[in-house]
């Protein structure tokens, strides 16, 4: 990588010498030129360099992931960028919260009127099933953030 003669993707694009101190080198390897090109196009190399220097080294990989995500979203959707994804996820969250509230209300009705609506153990099973469903959906939401 740095110093070995092969410049990182950033230095290659910017046509400059990649030094061992290069702030981009650990996160933008030469093999993946597109990642840096996208980030450079949206944020500009000097802004990205400044942002990375303001972040503790332990958090820089995450910062790069989010910059790449935001830049890719902006390229895909010049109007809303990653706000499109965020608002779609917020909508899903509020729909799931509504489903959860409805399920809780149904359970409450089942528990309060055991003669009409069956047995409390069945209600507990239903509640567990609903909670698992909601949790699974929540995991899907988390997974899709970085893919």
**Interhelix angle for 45-54 vs 33-43, to 10°?**
100
User: Is the CB of 10 or the CB of 69 nearer to Zn ion?
Assistant: 10
User: Which of 25, 48, 73, 123 is the binder for Zn ion (CB under 5 A)?
Assistant: 25
User: Is the CB of 11 or the CB of 42 nearer to Zn ion?
Assistant: 11
User: Is the CB of 13 or the CB of 100 nearer to Zn ion?
Assistant: 13
Residue environment code for 121-138, b if the CB has 16+ CB neighbours within 10 A, otherwise e: eebeeebeebeeeeeebe
Q: Is 52 in the site for Zn ion (CB under 5 A)?
A: no
In angstroms, give the least distance from the CB of 145 to Zn ion: 28
Choose among 90, 93, 68, 91: nearest CA to 81: 68
Q: Which stretch binds Zn ion (CB under 5 A): 11-19, 84-92, 107-115, 135-143?
A: 11-19
Q: Is 11 in the site for Zn ion (CB under 5 A)?
A: yes
Can you tell me the distance from the alpha carbon of 102 to that of 136, in angstroms, rounded to the nearest whole number?
18
Choose among 92, 90, 73, 91: nearest CA to 82: 73
Residues of the shown chain interacting with Zn ion in the complex, contacts defined by CB under 5 A: 8, 11, 18, 22, 24-25
């Amino acid at each position: 990588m740095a110093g070995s003669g092969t410049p990182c993707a950033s230095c290659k694009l910017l046509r400059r010498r990649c030094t061992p101190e290069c702030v981009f080198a650990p996160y933008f390897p030469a093999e993946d030129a597109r990642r840096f090109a996208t980030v450079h196009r949206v944020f500009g190399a000097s802004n990205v360099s400044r942002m990375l220097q303001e972040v503790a080294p332990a958090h820089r990989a995450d910062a790069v992931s989010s910059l790449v995500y935001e830049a890719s979203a902006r390229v895909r959707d010049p109007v809303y960028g990653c706000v499109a994804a965020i608002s779609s996820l917020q909508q899903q969250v509020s729909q799931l919260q509504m489903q959860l509230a409805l399920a809780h209300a149904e359970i409450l009705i089942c528990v309060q009127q055991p003669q009409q609506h069956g047995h409390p153990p069945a209600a507990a099973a239903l509640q567990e099933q609903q909670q698992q469903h909601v949790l699974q959906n929540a995991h899907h939401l988390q997974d899709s953030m970085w893919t």
